[in-house]
Structure 1
Amino acid sequence: MSEFLDAVNGYVWSNALVYLCLAAGVYFSLRSRFVQVRQVREMVRLMLKGEKSPSGVSSFQALTMSLAGRIGTGNIAGVATAIAFGGPGALFWMWAMAFLGASTSFVECTLGQIYKTRDALTGEYRGGPAYYLSRAMAHTRAAGAFKVYGLIFAAVTVLACGLLLPSVQSNSMASAMESAWGFEKWWVGAGTVIVLAFVIIGGVKRIAAFASIVVPFMAVVYIALALVVVIVNGERIPEVLQLVFASAFGLDSAFGAIVGSAVMWGVKRGIYSNEAGQGTGPHAAAAAEVSHPAKQGLVQAFAVYVDTLFVCSATGFLILSTGAYRVFEGESESGPVLAEGGLLATTVEVGPAYAQVGFDTLWSGAGSTFIAVSLAFFCFTTIVAYYYMAETNLRFLLGRFSTASMPVIRGTVGSNLTMALQALILVSVILGAVSTATEAWVLGDIGVGLMAWLNIVGILILQQPAYRALWDYEKQKKAGLDPVFDPHALDIVGATFWENYDPNKTEEPQRART
């Protein structure tokens, strides 16, 4: 089974996907006239100000829901893995992926808002790639093909977010707690399941409230303490920057043989961390109450910066400035050591331990505890976000397969399937906690890769409405207005929620179609 999963992962994460992610980011940046640069100030303003209603959450809550999914073990263990197998240069390619990915995130999250709907069972806003893949082309001859495409994405997302991805988070959390406090992994998994069940059963509103408190607090604390360590080692920053850039382009002889690995691991772990293009961000974006889709597209673009440029960079500089790293040839710990910072003991495994050792240089003995606590919060909120995305796509599947003569699919059967999904993610958390790190990461990479393939190809085809929304937003802002979206004026078809939208009402009209 292990060899089979490795083979599948190799096909999914071939060079083709890496270059597709980079090329798409470059194209979206040019097409949007580098919206990720021009609108940074507006991103921050919108992040702090936003509407809210009984059906939707505020822009800030949607941002924190998105960050809950983005900020997880990839920001700590993922960065360490990228450096270990791709060299310090992998950090540069994570930055490049974040810069380019911000434009990708804008496109996918704006599309998520344009084609969102209101859940008939819960009254909450729902949306995501499955929704825009099936709705954006509904008026064309290709409608049938895109409906099938949407169903495939929804099914893959339920599998990925309900089974494959949670195991990575629970594994890192359990390993860190076992290392710090000697807790049995079973107990960590069981404790996580109990708390997780309470949160996810409460629905999107409870998820948003939980994330809006936990995520900003832990992110700020983690970045602040990591920066303290980096500042103490400030004299090494020029050396670290030189190492990162030299390694990224093969200018350092020690890393010349793994330039390709630097690109691969930088992009791979960059997407795993910030999720730009993966199709997860649009789910949280669609849940927001805004008067114009571009508003949430801009907010979610900024989420990519927060994740990679802030949190991942804090981890990368922490590891490199303290010398708590080791680089292997052949993308495996069994390969020859190409370079090391000199601080790690020979028994230290690739992963959270790199950051733990780095923190120990300033607070001896406290590194394991701090990383364990950080991962506990980061990983838990990520698992909660995964559940929300899996549930959203399950709702999509239920809606598509239901008919007027079979409403039970959306009723009793739908409720039972939702409970089955909740049970599935709880089981995934338990199994992930006791799995090996290698097994967990392979499953997670497969889940991320499958979603990225489907979503990036989809938004390359469907991108035009996102740009129309952007130009319309900027035009209204220039006129001194608070932009309000009208799909008819922009010749956007299939945006049924917005066709009935009244900015003076707090809820979507009942006549809006699902």
Structure 2
Amino acid sequence: MCVEAFVTWLNSILWSDPVIYILLGVGFVFSIMTRFLQVRHIKEMVRLMFEGKSSDAGVSSFQALAIALSGRVGTGNIAGVASAIFYGGPGAVFWMWAIAFIGASSAFIESTLAQIYKTKEDGQYRGGPAYYIEKGMGIKWFAMLFAFAALIAMAILMPGVQSNSIAAGVDNAFGISPVVTGIIIVLLLGFIIFGGVKRIAHAAQVIVPFMALGYILISLIIVAMNITELPSVIALIFRSAFGVDQVFGGLLGMAISWGVKRGIYSNEAGQGTGPHPAAAAEVSHPAKQGLVQAFSVYIDTLFICSATAFMILFTGMYNTTAEDGTMIVENLRGVEVGPGFTQAAIDSVLPGFGAGFVAVALFFFAFTTIMAYYYIAETNISYLMRGRTNPLAINALRVVLLITTFYGATNESALAWAFGDAGLGIMVWLNVIAIVILAKPALLALKDYETQKKQGKDPVFDPKPLGIKNADFWENEYKK
């Protein structure tokens, strides 16, 4: 009980109202500074996704995107959307869209920085916030603090959220004990993560597109079968988002808070997770992977989260609570907030199909997210050990992550989400401070990329003419 109380208190600080508005403000400022690249460069983002090949040291742009999407597309896309609607009403969906739109610029900044300051360790590309904090800011203790925080969050605090949602969905659909589900997850996960980054990349590039397209297809079927509800649902989202709806008008603050919090939990823009796989990409210019990662935020939130939201709202299969705990809307009496909302939504249109489909989708979504968590944790272990990665330390990390994954599958969802929110909040705080201070090199890289494109070139990065220091890989190792 003491642990739960402490985590709740910590989250009240990490996710207080000022923090929510700071995150929105940072994304908006980056959008202005990049001249809304998330709009100007959409065509280029899509083109770059399929450019480039993997190498012995790195992965292709698409593989890096797939690993990043593995982390972004998880339980937040199903259970997270449901909780946003439960606590913030339908208006929370709008604020999820808002943080995705402006967050795409934050994703560009952090992923471009990861490429600029990446290194080559043990024959593999490594990078992320710890690396760009040390090289770009020159503050080693701050870099080590982020690496340690990321390691704790990725290996201990956050895997349980994913495995808990898998277990809940499977139990609801098939009546399989969470203990059995937890064992299956651990066995499959162990097979992949003990195979290293290449096996993670290959698994991600197969699973992620398959699961995302299948999920979106089912949502389109649900929307098509309820198409007459489209105008009223869109109107409800916008009215609720700005506090003018008769039913949800009193939830304006909660709509913004839960929309932003669950939006960030889902798309991870600015969190500091996306830069890790971004740094592993084999590209000729950092801005290339920055643009690819910016588009991954759209895929996660504007496509997949919207699919969940529309299925729930079009069918009316949701509950919403007021801040005092009283129910404003209770269309699913006795159904706990989480995957059950989406399962009920699909079952209402396709009887007998929803529970099983959502359980399978949630398994793939959350399972691949845990894969990405492992990769991020391994990268930060590598940083803390200065590239001299000890196999014993790596194997210990794998065992710890498997234990916390199993623990999360077999324990209460409220505590799992509380731990997950705490882990996310710590990383967001540290990374946002860093990318605000370090934005200039990423902006210079963007300008350089755009200049070379206008000259008809395939952009190649050289940090020296731009005045960017400590970009050692690009100065010494990249073959121009």
- Relative to the length of structure 2, the TM-score reads 0.98
State the match for 1:213 in structure 2.
Answer: 206
Aligned to 2:424, which of 430, 448, 451? 448
Deviations 1:252-290, CA, capped at 9 Å, x for gaps: 122222100000000000000000000000001001000
Q: How far apart, CA to CA, are the structure 2 residues paired with 1:492 and 1:84? A: 46
Aligned to 1:313, which of 289, 295, 306? 306
Q: How far apart, CA to CA, are the structure 2 residues paired with 1:490 and 1:224? A: 45
Matched residue type, 2:260 = V
1:384 corresponds to 2:371:
yes
State the match for 2:446 in structure 1.
Answer: 470
State the match for 1:479 in structure 2.
Answer: 455
CA contact (8 A) 1:124 1:204 kept: no
Q: How far apart, CA to CA, are the structure 2 residues paired with 1:398 and 1:502? A: 24
State the match for 2:436 in structure 1.
Answer: 460
State the match for 2:25 in structure 1.
Answer: 23
State the match for 2:224 in structure 1.
Answer: 231
Alignment partner of 2:425: what SS? helix
Shift of 1:20: 1.4
1:287 corresponds to 2:280:
yes
1:420 corresponds to 2:396:
yes
Alignment partner of 1:264: what SS? helix
Matched residue type, 2:433 = V
State the match for 2:82 in structure 1.
Answer: 80
State the match for 1:271 in structure 2.
Answer: 264
State the match for 2:161 in structure 1.
Answer: 168
1:429 corresponds to 2:405:
yes
Query: Where in structure 2 are the equivalents of 1:327-338 lying within 5 Å?
Result: 327-330=320-323, 335-338=325-328
Alignment partner of 1:327: what SS? strand
Q: How far apart, CA to CA, are the structure 1 residues paired with 2:329 and 2:344? A: 17
Q: Bigger CA drift: 7-16 or 231-240?
A: 7-16
Alignment partner of 2:263: what SS? helix
Q: How far apart, CA to CA, are the structure 2 residues paired with 1:19 and 1:205? A: 38
- Relative to the length of structure 1, the TM-score reads 0.92
CA contact (8 A) 1:166 1:425 kept: yes
Q: How far apart, CA to CA, are the structure 1 residues paired with 2:329 and 2:181? A: 35
Q: How far apart, CA to CA, are the structure 1 residues paired with 2:108 and 2:383? A: 22
Shift of 1:16: 2.1
Alignment partner of 1:136: what SS? helix
Alignment partner of 2:111: what SS? helix
Alignment partner of 2:320: what SS? strand
Aligned to 1:352, which of 330, 334, 339? 339
Q: How far apart, CA to CA, are the structure 2 residues paired with 1:460 and 1:49? A: 29
Aligned to 1:367, which of 350, 354, 364? 354
State the match for 2:48 in structure 1.
Answer: 46
Alignment partner of 2:385: what SS? helix
1:116 corresponds to 2:89:
no
State the match for 2:35 in structure 1.
Answer: 33
Alignment partner of 1:432: what SS? helix
CA contact (8 A) 1:130 1:151 kept: yes
Q: How far apart, CA to CA, are the structure 1 residues paired with 2:85 and 2:337? A: 9
State the match for 1:438 in structure 2.
Answer: 414
Query: Where in structure 2 are the equivalents of 1:127-146 lying within 5 Å?
Result: 127-137=127-137, 143=138, 146=139
Shift of 1:134: 0.3
1:14 corresponds to 2:16:
yes
Q: How far apart, CA to CA, are the structure 1 residues paired with 2:228 and 2:413? A: 34
Cα RMSD of the aligned pairs, angstroms, is: 1.0
State the match for 1:399 in structure 2.
Answer: 386
| Structure 2, unaligned runs of 5 or more | none
State the match for 2:105 in structure 1.
Answer: 103
Query: Where in structure 2 are the equivalents of 1:141-156 lying within 5 Å?
Result: 143=138, 146-156=139-149
State the match for 1:403 in structure 2.
Answer: none
Alignment partner of 2:54: what SS? coil
Q: How far apart, CA to CA, are the structure 2 residues paired with 1:179 and 1:63? A: 32
Deviations 1:450-475, CA, capped at 9 Å, x for gaps: 00000001100011000000000000
State the match for 1:5 in structure 2.
Answer: 7
Q: How far apart, CA to CA, are the structure 1 residues paired with 2:121 and 2:273? A: 18
Alignment partner of 2:247: what SS? helix
Q: How far apart, CA to CA, are the structure 2 residues paired with 1:295 and 1:39? A: 11
Deviations 1:11-43, CA, capped at 9 Å, x for gaps: 111112211110000000000000111000000
Shift of 1:124: 1.1
CA contact (8 A) 1:484 1:503 kept: no
Shift of 1:362: 2.0
Alignment partner of 1:118: what SS? strand
Q: Bigger CA drift: 179-188 or 94-103?
A: 179-188
Name the % identity: 53
Matched residue type, 1:216 = P
State the match for 1:249 in structure 2.
Answer: 242
CA contact (8 A) 1:291 1:503 kept: no
Deviations 1:92-151, CA, capped at 9 Å, x for gaps: 00000000000000000000000001113xx111100000000013xxxxx3xx111100
Q: How far apart, CA to CA, are the structure 2 residues paired with 1:501 and 1:234? A: 55
Aligned to 1:339, which of 329, 345, 363? 329
Shift of 1:160: 0.1
Q: How far apart, CA to CA, are the structure 2 residues paired with 1:255 and 1:360? A: 26
